[in-house]
Amino acid sequence: MILAMKRIVLNFIILSLLLTSCSHKAPDVKRVPILEVEGKFLYLDQIQEIIPPNVNSKDSLQIANRFIRSWVTDVLMYENAKRNSSNQTEIEDLVEGYRKSLTIHQYHQKLIEQRLAEPSEDEIRAFYEQYSSQLILKENVIKGILLVVPTKAPNIGNVRAWVQSCNSKSLENIEKYSIQNAISYDYFGDKWMNLSEVLNKIPVQVADLASFVRTNRFVEKTDSTQHYFLRILSYNTVGQVEPYEMAKDRIINILQNKRKEDFISNFETELYDDAVKKETVTFFKKK
């Protein structure tokens, strides 16, 4: 690594002398300069930062050379662009406008984090009940379990009975059994899943998903290597109101965004009114 750095310095010493011959700026005395161009210095530590550890000297030299060339080209291109640009004032105005917008945005975010409370459960529930007609499912969803075992797995009869029953004792048996015997075991009895996503894991072709889920609570399929057990505990079909658990996160985002808008609007109004009241703002009378 040290040898590579020495070679880098030697390779660019002539370029450094040429580019710095007309310079009057001094480098940072606490750092090791490699070269200077247009009053900008490239330091050894900057090159060391971009070279990965445990890289041989040849590769590190190539990486460093590419970085130096890119760095010099970038500085030269920028300085040439500034000298030949006829709209520097417009660019400065754009930069200042962006800086102002970014500063205000960060200030808004800080105020929101400090002063804005999260929506309560009652508020979320009230929104859900008020706007339930707009929260309509576009997918069939289910809760349940999906167990996949090898076709030669032991005690298939017991497994079938456990999945069909799906009570607390059966779930305990399934969990113990799946540790040693299952290819996969998905329990989603406490969250909603798209029916189509679940059925994609089973060798079954379904034309009408809504009709399928209405008429099936237990599905068992077998292919050449695997046995599939699906137990549907509950379901909702396309066109029904989205279950509260599914809609909750989206409602929270809606409420939070609305609160943010109201908070910022009120804050800006108070800021303006306070400035006028304290005569921070001076209005000049028309002559």
- 196-233 pLDDT per residue, tens: 999 999 999 999 999 999 999 999 999 999 999 999 99
CA nearest 7: which of 29, 34, 30, 27? 34
What pLDDT score does 1 carry? 52
Residues 232 and 150 in one domain: yes
In this prediction, residue 50 has a pLDDT band, given cuts at 50, 70 and 90, of: very high
| pLDDT for 5 | 53
Indicate whether 271 belongs to any domain: yes
Mark whether 191 and 262 lie in a shared domain: no
35 shares its domain with 115 = no
- Pair type for strands 141-150 and 184-194: antiparallel
Please indicate, yes or no, whether residues 141 and 196 belong to a single structural domain of this protein: yes
Q: Residue 127 domain-assigned?
A: yes
The reply to whether 114 and 248 lie within a common domain is yes
Residue 247 in domain = yes
Q: What angle do CA 89, 95, 96 make, to 5 degrees?
A: 90
User: Tell me, what's the pLDDT at 17?
Assistant: 43
Has residue 44 been placed in a domain?
yes
The answer to whether residues 226 and 247 belong to one domain is no
* Whether residues 181 and 39 fall in one domain: no
Could you tell me which of 172, 168, 188 has the C-alpha nearest to residue 235?
Answer: 188
- Residue 128 and residue 251 in one domain: yes
Q: What pLDDT, on a 0 to 100 scale, did the predictor assign at position 81?
A: 87
Tell me, yes or no, whether 46 and 112 share the same domain: no
The stretch 67-71 carries a mean pLDDT of 94
34 falls within a domain: yes
Provide mean pLDDT across the span 48-76. Answer: 92
Q: Do the Cβ atoms of 194 and 141 come closer than 8 Å?
A: yes
Task: Out of 21-25, 147-151, 163-167, pick the least confident.
Answer: 21-25
SS3 of the chain: helix, strand, coil, percent, to 5:
55, 15, 25
Please count the structural domains in the chain: 3
Average pLDDT value for residue range 83-94 = 84
Q: What is the DSSP letter of 120?
A: P
Q: Which residue has the higher pLDDT, 65 or 13?
A: 65
pLDDT (average), residues 92-115: 92
196 within domain boundaries: yes
Q: Are residues 24 and 108 in the same domain?
A: no
Average pLDDT over residues 77-106: 89
Which of 84, 115, 148 is the last residue before a domain boundary? 84
d(CA 254, CA 245) in angstroms, rounded, equals 15
Residue 89 covered by a domain: no
DSSP code at position 166: -
Question: Do 211 and 178 belong to one domain?
Answer: yes
Give this prediction's pTM: 0.64
> Is the alpha carbon torsion for 99, 101, 103, 105 positive or negative?
negative
- 166 in the same domain as 121: no
Q: Provide the domain limits for residue 176.
A: 137-236
Examine residue 94 and state whether it is found in any structural domain, yes or no: no
Does residue 287 register a pLDDT over 70?
no
